[in-house]
Amino acid sequence: LPIQTREELDMRTWFLLALLVVVGIGIGVGVALGVFNPAPNASDAGNAAAPAADSRMPELPPSDGPQPHVRVDKTEFDFGEMERRATGQHSYVFTNRGDYPLKLTSGGTSCSQCTISELPKDDIAPGESASVILKWTPRSEEEHFRQTATIFTNDPNQRSITLTVSGRLIQSLALAPPELVFNNVTPETHSESKARLLVQSSQPVKITGHSLTDEATAAFYVVSYAPLAEKDVPTGYKSGWEVTVTLKPGLPFGAIHQRIRLKTDLPDTPEPEITVMGNVSNGVSVFGHGWVAEAQVLRLNVVKRGAGTKRTVNLLVNGPHRKEVSFRLLSTKPDFVKVTLGEPARLEAVTQVPLTIEIPPGSPVVNCLGGQGHELGQLLLDTGQPTIGQVTLKLQFAIVDG
């Protein structure tokens, strides 16, 4: 190696030292900013979550020269109240406070209902400003909305900017609630529920008629409507109607599905639709693993003869006679099926009784799966209450050798 002069040595030393200081401080700052992901325990979640750099991002300027510096006056905008399907727009002003041209590209939006309709095509010169316009057409049924749009930049300190739009949707006609539920309706009684049709505009609206989409059960529904008294109209609405839906006795057991379309004299407005849901039962319902309400069947599936099986479900009794019910086993089919009725829990609105069904180990091989001449098993219970009478629970199972 050539002999170095004292000056050369000093220069090298100082250069090396300066480099070390820069590197050390750089690492320190990097750690502070999380660039090097120093939190050892946060690393996996952070790394797993970090998406790769996006190809839509504009190229960065050379790091040793002038830089752009983006500034946005306000990244959030509240549209306030908006009509559903109306289109709103807002202009966000981007200013370049740096000394290198600022480039913007679209990073997409959080939903199709929000679009970046205008993005500066040319670079924003230092000291200049340009607008990014977001357009928003709410189609959702929800009252509140918030969507974001991402703008990528070539500012190394802020590679992306999230613009947010938010607001509240109003509609000329609103149903509260839009769905009516009739839980555990008994076939012999009337049931009633109410919804309100609320009107936002000051122009009076009249319900002129209605139709039901499920014609097969339409005869069991009575729909009536009356204007709401002024005091009953909630804040934010000008008027309203009370819609009463009554179920007549005779609906078949099982699920209720119906839709009631209300006709109004408001032009160019979709017909408000009340969804009616629920179920018709005899006042006694069962819950627990394997219970199929519509078929009134408890599925025990295939049981090995040597092992047997045991299953506990719960009987729930609602309706006016719930407190008078006292279950008693009348019979089982096949007769080797064992049944234990637990202590009833008499709650305010329901009576709950645990019911354990056991197929003891060593029971004979049998097919009670139903179909093709194989009858389902069953339990016959007396409720001790004359109106409800007896209750039959079907059992679906087969016992096989093993």
- Taking the CA atoms of the chain, what radius of gyration do you get in angstroms? 36
* Interface segment toward other proteins; rule CB under 8 A; list 19-27, 201-209, 303-311, 384-392: 19-27
Q: Which is nearer to other proteins, 9 or 330 (CB)?
A: 9
Based on the shown chain and the rule CB under 8 A, indicate whether residue 33 belongs to the binding site for other proteins.
yes
Report the C-alpha gap between 176 and 216 in whole angstroms: 26
Give residues 272-301 in contact with other proteins (rule: CB under 8 A). 277-279, 285-289, 291-295, 299
Q: Compute CA distances 62 → 23, 25, 92, 98, 157, whole Å.
A: 20, 22, 27, 14, 13
Beta strands in 360-389 (DSSP E): 366-368, 377-382
> Binding marks (x or -) toward other proteins, 173..212, rule CB under 8 A?
----x-x-xxxx--------x-------------------
**Residue whose CB is less far from other proteins, 242 or 336:** 242
Q: Scan for tokens 């740096």, then name that residue.
A: 98
> Does 219 participate in binding other proteins (rule CB under 8 A)?
no
On the CB side of 295, how many CA atoms lie within 13 Å of its CA? Answer: 13
- Rule CB under 8 A: choose which of 87, 117, 131, 162 binds other proteins: 162
Beta carbon nearer to other proteins, 219 or 330 = 219
Structure tokens at 19: 């480099």
Q: Which of residues 244-273 bind other proteins (CB under 8 A)?
A: 254-255, 257, 259
Scanning residues 329 to 358, which ones bind other proteins (CB under 8 A)?
A: 345, 347-350, 352
| Residue 318 binds other proteins (CB under 8 A) | yes
The one segment of 78-86, 125-133, 152-160, 366-374 that binds other proteins by CB under 8 A: 152-160
Using CB under 8 A as the binding criterion, the count of chain residues that bind other proteins stands at 104
Binding mask 224-243 for other proteins (x = CB under 8 A): --------------------
**C-alpha to C-alpha distance for 134 and 90, rounded to whole angstroms:** 5
Segment near other proteins (CB under 8 A); pick from 33-41, 83-91, 117-125, 364-372: 33-41
Rounded-to-integer distance, Cα 180 and Cα 195, Å: 7
CB of 144 to other proteins, least distance (A): 4
**Residues with Cβ within 8 Å of residue 396, at least 6 apart in sequence:** 297, 298, 299, 300, 301, 368, 369, 370, 376, 377
In sequence order, the 6+-apart residues with CB closer than 8 A to the CB of 19 are none
Strand pairing category for 328-333 and 297-304:
unpaired
Nearer of residues 24 and 249 to other proteins, judged by Cβ = 24
366-368 and 191-199 beta bridge pairing:
unpaired
Window 92 to 151, contacts with other proteins (CB under 8 A): 107, 110-113, 139-140, 142-148, 150
Residue 112, Cβ density class (10 Å: 0-12 exposed, 13-18 middle, ≥19 buried): exposed
Footprint of other proteins on 361-400 (CB under 8 A): none
Amino acid sitting at position 210: H
Query: Cα separation of 216 and 210, whole Å?
Result: 16
Q: How far is the CB of 314 from other proteins (least distance, A)?
A: 7
Q: How far is the CB of 168 from other proteins (least distance, A)?
A: 9
